[in-house]
Amino acid sequence: MNRPHRLGLEGAALADKALRLRRHVVRMVAPIAEGYVGQGLGAADILAALYFNEMAFDPDDPGWEGRDRFILSPAHYGVGLFAALAERGALPVQELAQYGVDGSPLEIIASERLPGVEATCGSLGMGLSVGVGMALTLRRRASASRVYVLIGDGEMQEGETWEAVMSASAFKLSNICAIVDVNDMQVDGSTKSVMDMGNIAAKWRAFGWNTITLDGHDLDALLAAFAAARAHVEGPTVLLADTIPGRGVTALEGRKAHFAKLPPDVAAQALVELEG
């Protein structure tokens, strides 16, 4: 199906976009010297696959009615979303320097003050509920638009998440796709140490979702999974994407620091590594 404003990048071109997003993330966080850099780096491949291949999105009109909707439930991942919006052309790249500056719409916790941010989800666990509501509305309007919701694996400890999971299945919302960033990290430490959720794939399947497990850094696997989600018309699809916090930067990769330090020497070395 022809989908307007869908870029459809693949291969080296898409990998280059993911690399560019990682550079933007480091440059945004570096002046503050601490922040959600691990999450931004870890989710860069997911965001690149969405914004540069999968989603219908018009950077000249972020509120275009025919767009696909992206809900960032862990709003502290905003550093990654802002990088994607800028690289896609929805805001000037130079404006990324305003990240975290008082009065700037590029808030550390992403909000709807910035065009392209569909929902303010500072309270973790609510994003999928917002997405279900949007998907229902789009279906009632007979819209071809789809809804994509990124949630953190720690959010699966929230009861509201499972209410939304159950609702999407009950309403057979084939126009919604959830992506779980399975990085085994939340505020208080490893998700397994805070509350071991066991076999999460089995849980989603038990709630009636088409469930795909994959490497969240494998761009080809991500594109295939999104294509499979579009082809599945019996109900909602979830991608359980295994990721590594800090992916692409040796000094940060695998460090499960919810709010990580990024001293100048580490930031400089990270940019050398990402440029190389």
Q: Flag whether 138 is in a domain.
A: yes
How many C-beta neighbours within 10 Å does residue 269 have?
Answer: 15
Number of structural domains, the chain? 1
- Whether 210 and 234 have beta carbons less than 8 Å apart is answered as yes
User: Residue 215 is part of a domain; what is its CATH number?
Assistant: 3.40.50.970
Q: Would you say 147 and 131 are in contact if contact means Cβ atoms under 8 Å apart?
A: yes
Quote the tokens at residue 276: 């190389």
- As a whole number, the mean pLDDT across the chain is 95
Q: What is the DSSP letter of 95?
A: G
Q: How confident is the model at residue 187 (pLDDT cuts 50, 70, 90)?
A: confident
Report the percentage of the chain scoring pLDDT > 90: 89
Q: DSSP string of 180-246?
A: EEE-S-BTTB-HHHHH----HHHHHHHTT-EEEEEETT-HHHHHHHHHHHHH--SS-EEEEEE--TT
- In this predicted structure, the answer to whether residue 79 has a pLDDT above a threshold of 90 is yes
**Tokens coding 70:** 């992206």
Residues in the chain: 276
Using CA atoms in the order 157, 195, 189, 200, what is the torsion angle rounded to 10 degrees?
A: -60
In a domain, 6, yes or no: no
Is 35 within a domain? Answer: yes
- Does residue 5 fall inside a structural domain? no
In a domain, 2, yes or no: no
Q: Please report whether residue 85 resides in a domain.
A: yes
Q: What is the pLDDT of residue 153?
A: 96
Expressed as residue numbers, the domain containing 210 is 11-275
Q: How far apart are CA 270 and CA 276, in angstroms?
A: 10
Which band of pLDDT confidence, cut at 50, 70 and 90, is reported for residue 2? low
| Residue 109 tokens, joined | 């916790």
Residue 213 near residue 201, CB atoms below 8 Å: yes
Residue 167 confidence class, pLDDT cut points 50, 70, 90: very high
231 belongs to a structural domain? yes
Between the alpha carbon of residue 97 and those of residues 32, 39, 74, 83, 246, the distances in Å are 11, 19, 22, 11, 20
β-strands 260-261, 176-182 pairing: unpaired
Q: Per the domain annotation, does 248 fall within a domain?
A: yes
- Reading the block at residue 252, the tokens are 């940060």
**Confidence (pTM):** 0.96
